[in-house]
């Protein structure tokens, strides 16, 4: 979600001070910091989703509604906080769909987009491992929870469409500073108004596959979920392009604007 660097295609406010001796080029160092931010941010997000799901199932084993409420509140709160924390470095995409839409609008280069996506998927799996381990479960336990029904896949299209609309609509209207609150609130709501509980994120889907818990998803459901999330992202990008024709100029503030950093 970012701002362009001459070396890497990102908008230029994150900044280096040059390099000395055998130090890597400034663009490489900036890209590495952005990738680390995406990795850590996505890992914490998935850990929050899975960990709170495990805790909810143990604390409220006989009430699925309360379990979902507990999972929702923890996820939304963690998501907003993570965006605040890593947004100034990478923009806090935390989601391959957001990164690909950002690439579509020309804000980032293909190389940077690929770096982000790899970091996000790696972070998703790492977050699952962390959550499983914290709660004494197997480090990786593939979920048996099948979710890929027609209604659930439609829900993923709608959920991802809405997420893209929120993120890029805020950028297009110059209100990206509200993104942590708006994105957290949207995901909290979408947990309840979509039948799939709003994954809306391929990296999260991959991570949740690695935990046979309340938040898990069976391997056979992951690829369909990812595919329909990409479809929802494409619909969302098309809608944003019509609503905000200037988006190619303002998308550099997605999800939040990056700040100058030493």
pLDDT tens digits, one per residue of 200-216: 999 999 999 999 999 99
13 inside domain: no
2 inside domain: no
Domain count of the fold of the chain? 1
18 inside domain: no
Q: Report the alpha-carbon distance of residue 89 to residue 105 in Å, rounded.
A: 20
pLDDT tens digits, one per residue of 113-151: 999 999 999 999 999 999 999 999 999 999 999 999 999
- Show the domain range for 79: 26-253
258 inside domain: no
Angle CA(94)–CA(109)–CA(187) in degrees, nearest 5?
20
Q: Is-contact 40 86, C-beta < 8 A?
A: yes
Exposure string of 8-46, with b = 16+ CB inside 10 Å and e = fewer, is bbbbbbbebeeeeeeeeebbeebbebbbebbbbbbbbbb
Residue 255 has pLDDT above 80, yes or no: no
261 inside domain: no
> Which token pair is 225?
């979920």
pLDDT tens digits, one per residue of 209-248: 999 999 999 999 999 999 999 999 999 999 999 999 988 8
> Which token pair is 12?
């230029």
231 inside domain: yes
User: Whole-model pTM?
Assistant: 0.87
CATH code at position 193: 1.20.1080.10
8 inside domain: no
27-36, 57-66, 178-187, 231-240: the lowest-pLDDT one: 27-36
């Amino acid at each position: 979600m970012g701002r362009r660097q001459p070396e890497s295609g990102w908008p230029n406010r994150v900044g280096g001070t040059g390099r000395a001796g055998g130090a890597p080029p400034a663009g490489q160092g900036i890209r590495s910091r952005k990738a680390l931010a995406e990795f850590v941010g996505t890992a914490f997000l998935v850990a929050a989703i899975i960990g709170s799901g495990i805790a909810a199932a143990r604390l409220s084993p006989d009430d699925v509604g309360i379990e979902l409420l507990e999972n929702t509140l923890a996820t939304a709160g963690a998501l907003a906080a993570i965006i605040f924390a890593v947004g100034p470095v990478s923009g806090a995409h935390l989601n391959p769909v957001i990164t690909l839409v950002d690439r579509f609008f020309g804000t980032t280069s293909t190389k940077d987009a690929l770096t982000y996506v790899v970091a996000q998927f790696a972070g998703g799996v790492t977050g699952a491992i962390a959550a499983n381990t914290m709660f004494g479960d197997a480090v990786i336990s593939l979920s048996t929870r099948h979710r890929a029904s027609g209604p659930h896949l439609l829900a993923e299209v709608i959920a991802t469409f809405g997420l893209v609309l929120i993120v890029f609509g805020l950028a297009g209207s110059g209100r990206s500073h509200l993104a942590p609150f708006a994105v957290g609130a949207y995901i909290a709501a979408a947990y309840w108004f979509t039948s799939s509980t709003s994954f809306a994120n391929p990296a999260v889907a991959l991570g949740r596959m690695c935990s046979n818990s309340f938040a898990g998803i069976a391997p056979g459901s992951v690829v369909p979920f990812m595919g329909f999330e990409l479809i929802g992202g494409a619909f969302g990008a098309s809608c944003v392009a019509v609503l905000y024709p200037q988006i190619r100029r303002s998308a550099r503030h997605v999800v939040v604007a990056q700040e100058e950093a030493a």
